[in-house]
Amino acid sequence: MNPAVIELRNGVYWVGVKDWARRTFDGLIPLPHGTSYNAYVVRGSAKTALVDTVNPGFEGELLAKVGVVVDPAELDYVVMNHAEPDHAGAIPAVLAAAPRAKLVLTAKGAEMVVRYYPVPRERMQIVQDGEEVDLGGRTLRFIDAPFLHWPETMFTYAVEDKVLFPCDFFGAHTAAGVYADEVADLPLRAQMYFGEIMMPFRKAGERALKKLAGLPLELIAPSHGPLWRQPERILSLYRRWTAGETRPKVVVGYVSMWGSTERLVRVAAEALLGQGIEIAVHELSHVDVGDLAGDLVDARAIVLGAPTVLGALHPAALHAAHLVRTLRPPLRYAAVLSSYGWGGGALRQAGEILGPTGIEVVGAVEVHGAPDADAEAQVGALAAELAAKVRGSR
Ligand code: FEO
């Protein structure tokens, strides 16, 4: 195989790996389009750096690509922006092939890296926020950007080239394309990725964006997905998403056993549509976590439809409710619709899960058995109340 290396700038190269076949991440997130582990070589007149590495299993491919540009033994620096194995997993192999290279990382990164890989302390070069290394006519600046999405994360900035290497931040899970403008659905993929990975860390994201303000940027080169050569495209999206800007949109997540809960959900969905509210409906027993997370990024409300099973929320709804609590979307309002055969429990449990989130539960409708006209009227009224709140807030 001839390894593909892409020259992004004179002396700046993409040496990453496309993982076309990967189908899940973290045992949780579907990857219908695979993903990429982007890594970069930056060459100065005196020294050479590798920025990030790749997922375990691709060490040979990475080193072959680095070898197209420079003998790996001549690497002076290996920059670890993030310790998670999809970017740091090849560090032991790279350090073995590059005996004089220093591993550049944050102090927190130094604590974390040894939990995963056998990296001797004397190979590490800990950098502070704003510190630079001179490669000879080319400068790398390191920017602390913690909790995006692990405690040790940082960005690397190629000063003269105006290229930012932000690792996970601004990424997307797709193996398609090289540049963002070549991938039609990339804004959607980026939104899903933000929902899955970055949404719980919106405040940290806002802080990082403030640090980037005023920094000249011509290329944003994340470690997953295509590269943004019109940086403002992704910056403007991230400003909205990290700020928690919502739209008059309602996520409707439901699961039903014998059609009663589904009937309630259909009444609510039709009523919301009739009120001109955008809805995003997810049947939860087959939900794609990425689709759901992406919709939660800018939705203003959620309708949770879930029957009682054995005195508790249906497990598929329990999973979704737990995701809502842990992903911390900017939802303002919720409504719960439920049915039971001989004893409730779903409503109580939904309240327990949603209660600590700060999301206002506007109301709930629960039916014993199949819904009658009175129950449907209650749902219609609840949906109208929810629509009014969704329209009237930001
Ligand atoms: Fe792509 Fe947090 O690793």
**125-135 confidence digits (pLDDT tens):** 999 999 999 99
Q: What is the band of 122 on the pLDDT scale with cuts at 50, 70, 90?
A: very high
**37-62 confidence digits (pLDDT tens):** 999 999 999 999 999 999 999 999 99
SS3 content of the chain, % helix, strand, coil (to 5): 40, 25, 35
The average confidence (pLDDT) of the chain is: 97
Q: What is the pLDDT of residue 394?
A: 67
239-242 LR contacts (CB < 8 Å, sep 24+): 239/209, 240/298, 241/191, 241/194, 241/198, 241/199, 241/202, 241/205, 241/297, 241/298, 242/198, 242/202, 242/203, 242/205, 242/206, 242/209
286: preceding bond cis by omega (within 30 degrees) = no
Angle formed by the axes of helices 186-193 and 231-243, to 10°?
40
Q: What is the pLDDT of residue 267?
A: 98
Question: How far does residue 86's CA lie from ligand 1's centre (Å)?
Answer: 6
**317-342 confidence digits (pLDDT tens):** 999 999 999 999 999 999 999 999 99
Question: How far does residue 69's CA lie from ligand 1's centre (Å)?
Answer: 25
Q: Which atom of ligand 1 is the closest one to the Cα of 85?
A: 3
Report, as an integer, the average pLDDT of 227-251: 98
Decide: 82 in ligand 1 pocket, CB within 6 A.
yes
Decide: 173 in ligand 1 pocket, CB within 6 A.
no
Q: Which atom of ligand 1 is the closest one to the Cα of 171?
A: 1
Domain assignments of the chain as residue spans, ordered by start: 6-242, 250-392
Q: What is the pLDDT of residue 2?
A: 79
Report, as an integer, the average pLDDT of 239-264: 98
Q: Which residues is 213 bridged to in the sheet?
A: none
**257-309 confidence digits (pLDDT tens):** 999 999 999 999 999 999 999 999 999 999 999 999 999 999 999 999 999 99
What are 307's two structure tokens?
A: 């029957």
Q: Whose CA is nearest to atom 2 of ligand 1?
A: 84
The strand pair at 17-19 and 278-283 is best described as unpaired
pLDDT over 90, % of the chain? 98
**16-34 confidence digits (pLDDT tens):** 999 999 999 999 999 999 9
Do 85 and 223 contact (CB within 8 A), yes or no?
no
Q: What is the pLDDT of residue 393?
A: 77
Report, as an integer, the average pLDDT of 359-385: 97
Give the type of residue at 368: H
Q: How far apart are CA 365 and CA 347, in angstroms?
A: 9
Cα torsion angle, 112, 75, 165, 213, sign:
positive
Q: What is the pLDDT of residue 177?
A: 96
Report, as an integer, the average pLDDT of 175-199: 97
Q: What is the pLDDT of residue 283?
A: 98
Answering whether pTM is above 0.85, one says: yes
The domain covering 6-242 belongs, at the CATH homologous superfamily level, to Ribonuclease Z/Hydroxyacylglutathione hydrolase-like (3.60.15.10)
Give the Cβ contact number of residue 321 at 10 Å.
25
Question: How far does residue 137's CA lie from ligand 1's centre (Å)?
Answer: 30
What are 87's two structure tokens?
A: 């970017």
3-state DSSP call for residue 267?
Answer: helix
What are 177's two structure tokens?
A: 């394309």
Q: What is the band of 101 on the pLDDT scale with cuts at 50, 70, 90?
A: very high
Question: How far does residue 221's CA lie from ligand 1's centre (Å)?
Answer: 14
**122 exposure class (CB count in 10 Å sphere: 0-12, 13-18, 19+):** exposed
Q: What is the band of 1 on the pLDDT scale with cuts at 50, 70, 90?
A: confident
Q: What CATH code is assigned to 250-392?
A: 3.40.50.360
Q: What is the band of 3 on the pLDDT scale with cuts at 50, 70, 90?
A: confident
Q: Whose CA is nearest to atom 3 of ligand 1?
A: 84
